[in-house]
Amino acid sequence: MRAGEGFPVRLQYTKLGKIRWISHRDVARALERAFRVARLPLAFSEGFSPHPKVSFGLALSTGHESEAEYVDLVLTEDLAVETLPGVITPALPDGITVAGAAQLVERAPALQEAVTSCEWLVEVARSDGLPADPHEVREQAEAVSAFPEIMVTKRRKGREVTEDIRPVIRHLTVCGTAPVTLAMELFTQPRSARPGEVLAAFGGLSEVRAVRTHQWIERDGARQEPLDADTRPRVPEARAS
């Protein structure tokens, strides 16, 4: 790494419980405040208005939870990354926990460009509030998976557009019955979809809880989680003789 570029680090964090009701922007503010409280040696951009070199991954919709969110930052010192979760987490609100950290290789692709799919667990109920029937939901999941297209209308850049989200669905299965829970893996490129948009294709079901459990980076047929992709293995410390 050339002098002056700093030491890039990737953090994994959670967003669970009541904190799900704050926006992606508010989560970003909470993390940046925690970095200041923890006195991390953040690198700053140059120019008239310098700002910390912090880059967030895919936005998580307000109301959704996650066990696998990521943020990249650049430090001016080569810290022991394994200490960062314990240093940063105490400065964060309840529900946001730094779960892991890894050093990145130089010029690693941005998370928003690198992540190719996400996995979700979505608890569902009938639209009238009664528990869903797992057998009926399983049949619906099979039917939706066989649809040639699923058209949804979205608002993008101030105008409504209609898109086919069927190509976004990688797999869709019932994985729990009490409550009925759908496991979804949804592609993020070249387009994406929210779990609720997929669920709307079922008809008669409502989303009770949605948790993003994994994000994947896939290249050449192999896929890795972001803490394993584009990261540098730490050199083991020499044992004292």
According to the model, what pLDDT value does residue 234 have? 57
Q: What is the mean pLDDT of residues 153-171?
A: 90
DSSP H/E element including 151: strand 151-156
Do the beta carbons of residue 65 and residue 13 sit within 8 Å?
no
pLDDT for 237 beyond 50: no
Given pLDDT bands bounded at 50, 70 and 90, which one contains residue 158?
confident
Give Cβ neighbours of residue 188 (< 8 Å, ≥ 6 apart): 58, 115, 116, 117, 118
Do 7-111 and 117-220 come out as alike in CATH topology? yes
What is the pTM (predicted TM-score) of this model?
A: 0.90
User: What are φ and ψ of residue 85, in 5° steps?
Assistant: -55, -45
pLDDT > 70: what percent of the chain? 95
Given pLDDT bands bounded at 50, 70 and 90, which one contains residue 153?
confident
Residues 232, 70: Cα–Cα separation, whole Å: 16
Residue type, 202: F
Question: CATH code for 117-220?
Answer: 3.30.70.3190
Q: What is the mean pLDDT of residues 53-70?
A: 96
Residues 124, 138: Cα–Cα separation, whole Å: 12
According to the model, what pLDDT value does residue 47 have? 77
Q: What is the mean pLDDT of residues 48-70?
A: 94
Question: CATH code for 7-111?
Answer: 3.30.70.580
Q: What is the mean pLDDT of residues 206-226?
A: 95
According to the model, what pLDDT value does residue 239 have? 44
Kindly tell me the burial class for residue 140, based on how many C-beta atoms sit within 10 Å of its own C-beta (0-12, 13-18, 19 or more).
buried
CA dihedral (75, 64, 134, 174) positive or negative: negative
**Cis, bond preceding 134 (omega within 30 deg of 0):** no
Map out the domains of the chain as residue ranges.
Answer: 7-111, 117-220
Pick from 163, 217, 216, 172: which is nearest to 193 by CA? 163
Helix H segments across 2-81? Answer: 24-37
User: Comparing 46-50, 87-91, 181-185, 211-215, which segment has the lowest mean pLDDT?
Assistant: 46-50
According to the model, what pLDDT value does residue 106 have? 87
According to the model, what pLDDT value does residue 49 have? 82
User: What are φ and ψ of residue 70, in 5° steps?
Assistant: -135, 150
CA dihedral (107, 108, 111, 116) positive or negative: positive
Given pLDDT bands bounded at 50, 70 and 90, which one contains residue 236?
very low
**172-186 pLDDT, tens digit each:** 999 988 899 999 999
Q: What is the mean pLDDT of residues 39-62?
A: 91
Given pLDDT bands bounded at 50, 70 and 90, which one contains residue 159?
confident
